[in-house]
Amino acid sequence: MKKTLLIVPVAIAAMLTGCENYKEQAEQLTRQRDSLVAITNANNQTIDEFISSFNEVETNLNTITQKQQSIAMSAEKNPEMAKTTKERINAEIEAINQLMTENKTRIADLEKSIKRNSGKVGKLEKMVANLKEQLVQKEKELASLNEQLGSLNVQLATIRTSYDSLNTENANRVIVIADQTTKLHTAYYTVGNYKKLRDQKVLAKEGGVLGLGAKPKVVPAIKKESFTKIDYTQTASIPINSKSAKLVTTHPSDSYRLEQTDKTVSDLVITDPEKFWSASKYLVVMTN
């Protein structure tokens, strides 16, 4: 009976000890579980952040490609590149440079993240390396694009220089042609009686005997100041307003007519200007 009583306390003590051990094991498992959950959550967060950054870099690279294509198309369609087009292209290049800078920063962050979690996300190193290769390729493409644009700018400067030179030449030619045309269409006339024209040193009498039978002739060295200057393409008639009128200078008779009103010669009407002024650009009309 005494043995039985001794066995019972020992069994109870063993059971209590077993419970304590089980409790400790349970607590240890709980701690391990919590640790694993924390590690899993950390891994998930790290991977989520990695994937997010990775996607942003890829999006930036796609955007850069689109902008490069846009610039290339603009340059092909418009080699001379108007001012607004050049401004837009410069803005596109600036945007590309910003995206490239952002990509470099994010890739550097990804590499740091991998180093901190090398045991957890080591397989993602190849993805980062691939991104770095793409970024290097984009830098080469951007350098080539800048070189092409620089060449286009040089061509544009040459074209503009040639264009300005041609404009200057054309302007000078227009001035010369206008001046020559003005000179070709310039004529001079004077109307008056013999005494007036003599005093103006336009006419002088020549020939005859002892002053008799001398005829008025235009002096060899006439002065333009004694004449009225006109553009004969704009002058269809010359006022006379005299009882009679005679052309001292030579002009084809079928290129003009004298208008008469009430026994007065009112105007000299030029019917064919080119023909009329072909013989002489000076017209002297002597009235009476």
Residues 112-128 have pLDDT tens digits of: 776 666 555 555 666 66
- For the chain, the residue count is 288
Spell out, as residue ranges, where the chain has pLDDT lower than 50: 1-19, 21-22, 25-26, 29, 32, 36-37, 39-40, 42
pTM for the whole thing?
0.44
Which DSSP state fits 202?
S
Q: List, in sequence order, every residue forming a beta bridge with 229; answer none if it has no partner.
A: 188
Q: Can you give the pLDDT at residue 77?
A: 57
Q: Can you give the pLDDT at residue 72?
A: 63
Write down the domain spans for the chain: 27-180, 187-287
CA gap 142, 210 in Å, rounded: 101
Q: Is the CB of residue 87 less than 8 Å from the CB of residue 78?
A: no
Q: Can you give the pLDDT at residue 135?
A: 75
In whole angstroms, how large is the CA radius of gyration of the chain?
A: 54
